Structure 1
């Protein structure tokens, strides 16, 4: 391993975390052999600690975790060549963390409220959502979700009459959230979110839908069985009511 390769690897190394990667171990040995690299590594780690301390104080904006998890790719192998891609991703993550550092270190989150759920989910769809599976066949979408071990759902009849666009899986309060997008009039979209009631225990079956307005996005949230459903779309309450189960 060259000194340049060792520096590249150690730029992603954190001294406060255990790491059994043989490439990291070799890079550390390389640094220990050179007084210049030893000083460089100490300065790097001091800088990392200072940045981390600063970022810890920055509050996380709503929806940041949802969007990051939604775009999270499977981990690559840990050979030294993938470190180039890792460092590029780390540079992008640093920008995001400047706004939202600390969410991954918080204790296990308690159950959320309907307003928090509406705010976080609509933050994801305010931009055109990236979908993991695209299809105009609702049956195909349900089959795909079933293969992903997602719970069966009841799509309101008026919503099921629309042409679907696709779906993806998000997360809220450590529970998986199913998102299915439908195309409605005017080439606009209607979005159906489904999550286990463990994430929103105060939303009870039989209660009337809870309406929220988040920056021009109207949402309606209700529960059936052990699932909580939420429809979200741009427009007023009258527009969204026709897509609810009792419409």
Structure 2
């Protein structure tokens, strides 16, 4: 793989670095200039992702994007290249926005907290929202969450979830309530996302008895345990969801 090929691959995976090949990541580790460029791209892409919401573009989106793009350009860059850069950024945002509208994961009747949770998970899964912390194991993720005071699962989770490799976590708010999304790696490089709330008063949720359903291409399970409420969602087959929960 050449440096340019590595750069293109890393550029395409700024919000999901786990999708980049080991060879591309090795290029960045050896090349300080390439690593700095990747970090700059990731910062810009994360800023754009944070401006997007599931329902509507926020006020001032255009102005914020222009400010971000100008901030990332060298001071003496020719005007024609600045204009081209702005047009590219606007086109990228338009594609992201259209893509989000086309992949809304919610179908059928679903309690509002579940619909909002699934949309938050979907954004993370598609790289539209970057993880706050990265860690390879569930125990490391728990330590990060405990130290930050974010909603954190109890030590015991159903099935084999605790033993699955992780990518990291993201703190979110669902209907004004703090929550945490933990991203697990499952078999065949599929992903499963667990969202946890420090609240067990949600309707239509049973204690320690996962309730399964589907929505678009997602398989979901919701349950509560003590003072926690959980949703586990994956685009893997339903049998994989059941395996993770230990209900096969």
TM-score normalised by the chain length of structure 1: 0.51
Aligned to 1:63: 54
Distance 1:245 1:196 in 2: 23
Quote the offset at 1:139 in angstroms: 2.1
Aligned to 2:122: 123
Task: Identify if the C-alpha distance between structure 1 residues 236 and 188 changes in structure 2 by more than 3 Å, giving closer, same or farther.
Answer: closer
Deviation above 6 Å: which 4+ runs of structure 1? none
Aligned to 1:138: 138
Aligned to 1:166: 168
Structure showing greater radius of gyration is 1
Contact 1:114 1:203 in 2 (8 A): no
Aligned to 1:214: 215
SS in 2 for 1:156: coil
Instruction: Name structure 2 gaps, 5 residues minimum.
Output: 1-51, 59-65, 72-88, 99-110
Contact 1:118 1:212 in 2 (8 A): no
Contact 2:152 2:180 in 1 (8 A): no
Distance 2:221 2:124 in 1: 15
Task: Identify if the C-alpha distance between structure 1 residues 118 and 145 changes in structure 2 by more than 3 Å, giving closer, same or farther.
Answer: closer
Count of aligned pairs: 158
Quote the offset at 1:194 in angstroms: 0.5
Instruction: Name structure 1 gaps, 5 residues minimum.
Output: 1-60, 69-82, 100-111
Distance 2:69 2:53 in 1: 26
Quote the offset at 1:231 in angstroms: 0.9
Contact 1:219 1:232 in 2 (8 A): yes
Task: Identify if the C-alpha distance between structure 1 residues 187 and 207 changes in structure 2 by more than 3 Å, giving closer, same or farther.
Answer: closer
Distance 1:117 1:176 in 2: 12
